[in-house]
Chain A
């Protein structure tokens, strides 16, 4: 009996399938574990990510009132004083006795006994809070801000509190919540409040951790794009219209390649984004027009005019540059990167006005 024949009798294909499925789960777990071990995406390389998520951190008992733009003073009252007793000097203030709201003074004792400092790690992924010489009823607050890259929309997907000593410490957050959006280019602010309870033991060391899970998705920008050929293009603005775009022609039979520019206000391509190309194959009676969009971009609509006049005619019979009135329309398109029209019944020289709604991340 050959090896394969033995294999046939010993291992049925169904068993292989189970093994394969187990391996699939295992390997996908590897991928996700990799995601976790990375500590989140990095701000370098090819991986888009939530980079430098913590932008600043402020303790309300480190002796400094922090002025953070655009919020003004984050922690008023943290003035470095110690009214009736000043253990830490300028490195701390009268101890907070209640939670603080950003920008609003909180209740404080008349003594500076404890101190709280906070700082952000070099990779901006972690804030460390150090509470020193604490005692029951001490109540410091640490403020912070979270952000996503300018090109991304973020969401706080979860907040997990890890506190092994709830009888000794009460740790809470405010200002952030699961499901909270992080708007593109903006930051959200939150606070961690630590309350030392009566059950806290003297000389003890208590640890806590607040884990905040975020998700960043690239923001989508969409713009209007027109075909452009340096040798044949005439700007709509030069034809008396107020909108930018180009008509291209006259084109005799032949093959032509055009650039597709998005957002080229005033017909100035230096202001625009080159998002793809358009080809026109015209044999004298039929024109095949093909849109090809570069990687990272996609189309949600195209509008095309091909004819012997420089511009299409609108409902009133006059020239128009409004894409919605072009004779050939594919709208909507399902985020495609290519689109094609075949226009028949043509003769002589033609003009082409090709428009697309193009979207991209960022």
Chain B
């Protein structure tokens, strides 16, 4: 029985010695190794453009904005002549934008639509920085009278300034 006790004692001592040795090894490892880091946070900006309609030249013409960037110009019982409707494009985002495209929907025969004030490629700076907005005008020229109502859609598309494709 005594011999057994002695064996346990030796085993325990050996184990404790090993424990301590390896702990020291671990701490020693601490002494000679290191880890440094580069921690990054990237906050993205955003593109946000607001299109708003302005005053129109005659009672026969009205305009409104349809999401996201469509100006809906409506004429009622229009007579030959020129009608205009104003609009404003404002960059309310944090990134400068350019107008990538201005598309006018199909119009009836004898009707011409043009846009003044902005063109494709016009750059609108971010909010708070001049020029962060542009005033423009849609001009509808009627060659002949047109009874009833028809609408013309002028659709603007925008991209961040460095993504503009010429």
Determine, out of A129-137, A242-250, A254-262, A268-276, the stretch whose residues face the partner at the interface: A129-137
B-chain residues with CB within 8 Å of residue A4 when the two chains form the complex: 1, 4-5
Known A-B contacts A32-B29, A33-B26, A85-B125; the reply to A194 vs B40 at CB < 8 A is: yes
Encoded as 1 (CB less than 8 Å from any B CB) or 0, chain A from 207 to 233 comes to 111111111110000000000000000
Q: Does A35 contact B (CB under 8 A)?
A: yes
A180 to chain B, nearest CB (A): 14
B50 touches A (CB below 8 Å): no
Q: Most chain-B CB neighbours within 10 Å: which of A28, A33, A127, A171?
A: A28
A85 touches B19 (CB 8 A): no
Count residues on chain A whose CB falls below 8 Å from chain B CBs. Answer: 78
Q: Are B162 and A215 in contact (CB under 8 A)?
A: no
Q: For chain A, residues 174 to 212, give those with C-beta under 8 angstroms from any C-beta of chain B.
A: 192, 194, 196, 200-212
A16, A134, A136, A207: the one within 8 Å of B8 (CB): A16
Give the Cβ gap from B85 to chain A, nearest Cβ, in Å.
Answer: 30
Stretch among B31-39, B56-64, B72-80, B139-147 lining the A interface: B31-39
Q: How far is the CB of A37 from chain B (nearest CB, A)?
A: 9
The distance in angstroms between the C-alpha atoms of A211 and B5, with both chains bound, is: 51
Within 8 A of A (CB), among B1-44: 1, 4-5, 7-8, 11-12, 14-15, 18-19, 22-44
Interface centre among B8, B28, B45, B46 (most CB of A within 10 A): B45
The residues of A that contact B15 with a CB separation of less than 8 Å are 16, 20, 23-24
Query: How many CB-defined contacts (below 8 Å) exist between A and B?
Result: 216
- Decide if B86 is an interface residue (CB 8 Å cutoff): no
Q: Which residues of A contact B29 (CB under 8 A)?
A: 31-32, 35
Q: How far is the CA of A215 from the CA of B28 in the complex (A)?
A: 12
Kindly state whether residue A113 has any CB partner on chain B within 8 Å.
Answer: yes
Chain A min CB distance to B98 (Å): 11
A123 to B130, CA, bound (A): 43
Confirm or deny: A306 has a beta carbon within 8 angstroms of a beta carbon on chain B: no
User: B87: shortest Cβ distance to chain A, in Å?
Assistant: 24
Distance, CA A30 to CA B4, complexed state (A): 31
Q: Is the CB of A20 within 8 A of B14?
A: yes
A47 on interface, CB distance cutoff 8 Å: yes
Q: Which residues of B contact A13 (CB under 8 A)?
A: 7-8, 11
Asked whether, in the complex, the Cβ of A202 is within 8 Å of the Cβ of B34, the reply is no
CA distance A287 to B37 in the complex (A): 59
A54: which B residues are within 8 A, CB to CB? 36
**Which of B38, B40, B96 touches A113 (beta carbons < 8 Å)?**
B96
Residues 17-33 of chain A: 1 if any B CB is under 8 Å from the residue's CB, otherwise 0?
Answer: 10010011101111111
8 additional A-B pairs beyond A203-B44, A211-B35, beta carbons within 8 Å, are A35-B33, A40-B34, A109-B162, A192-B40, A206-B41, A209-B39, A211-B37, A215-B34
Sorted nearest first, the 4 A-B pairs with minimum C-beta distance are A31-B26, A35-B30, A28-B22, A40-B34
